[in-house]
């Protein structure tokens, strides 16, 4: 007889698998389009900025680390900047202005036309992420959003040229698991285009 903990773990794995399988059908085209957008931007000499809060900040850092270093294959380092890692900048902006501006001010400073912003929010309603997307539009950047639960406010403000990848789940953990796999898909597709032959 299995104990409740083992049953709970099994249910977590099964819920994750079901969400991943559903997402592979619902989101594959959007993930491919987002990866293609990033590849095009990088090939034109532009860069990718990434931001998120909490676990999404960790995802943003993971993504930029894979591009700056490598994912699977040997290739040249690619320009990606996480906006969530510089505690000096983040705390200065939060202290002098407001936490809602910690990413948007960096986008205004670093973003250039043709760059891409990867904006990650499981709810799609984080004010500082919404402000970052608005700033990216002002800088003539394209935007890829990773969200959940219908996309939230981010889903409403994404422009026609943007790509909103919204996981159809209300569970933060399941949304983050799909976000992590989507990021790995981005990295693998980018690797294929820049691999050293």
10-residue block means of pLDDT along the chain (197 residues)? 79 94 96 98 98 97 96 95 96 97 98 98 96 97 95 88 94 96 97 90
pLDDT score of 14? 94
CATH number attached to the domain at 4-194:
3.40.50.10490
d(CA 81, CA 68): 8
The tokens of 169 are what? 């789940």
For residues 38 and 186, the answer to whether their CB atoms sit within 8 Å is yes
On whether the pTM is more than 0.85, the answer is yes
- Using the structure block, give the residue that is written with the tokens 């691999």: 195
d(CA 187, CA 20): 18
The tokens of 25 are what? 């059908």
pLDDT score of 149? 86
Characterize the bridge pairing of strands 48-51 and 116-120.
parallel
Nearest to 180 by CA among 31, 22, 42: 31
d(CA 155, CA 162): 10
d(CA 19, CA 143): 24
Q: Where in the chain are the domains?
A: 4-194
């Amino acid at each position: 007889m299995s104990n409740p903990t083992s049953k709970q773990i099994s249910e977590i794995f099964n819920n994750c698998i079901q969400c991943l399988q559903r997402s592979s059908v619902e989101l594959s085209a959007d993930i491919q389009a987002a990866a293609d957008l990033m590849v095009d931007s990088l090939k034109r000499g532009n860069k990718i900025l990434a931001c998120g809060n909490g676990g999404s900040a960790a995802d943003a850092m993971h993504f930029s680390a894979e591009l700056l270093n490598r994912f699977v294959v040997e290739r040249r380092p690619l320009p990606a900047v996480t906006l969530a890692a510089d505690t000096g900048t983040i705390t200065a902006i939060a202290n002098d202005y407001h936490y809602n501006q910690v990413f948007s001010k960096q986008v205004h400073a670093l973003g250039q036309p043709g760059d891409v912003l990867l904006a990650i929010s499981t709810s799609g309603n984080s004010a500082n992420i919404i402000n970052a997307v608005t700033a990216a539009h002002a800088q003539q950047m394209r935007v890829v959003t990773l969200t959940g639960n219908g996309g939230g406010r981010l889903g409403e403000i994404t422009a026609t040229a943007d790509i909103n990848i919204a996981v159809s789940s209300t569970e933060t953990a399941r949304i983050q698991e799909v976000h992590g796999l989507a990021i790995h898909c981005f990295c693998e597709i980018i690797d294929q285009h820049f691999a050293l032959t």
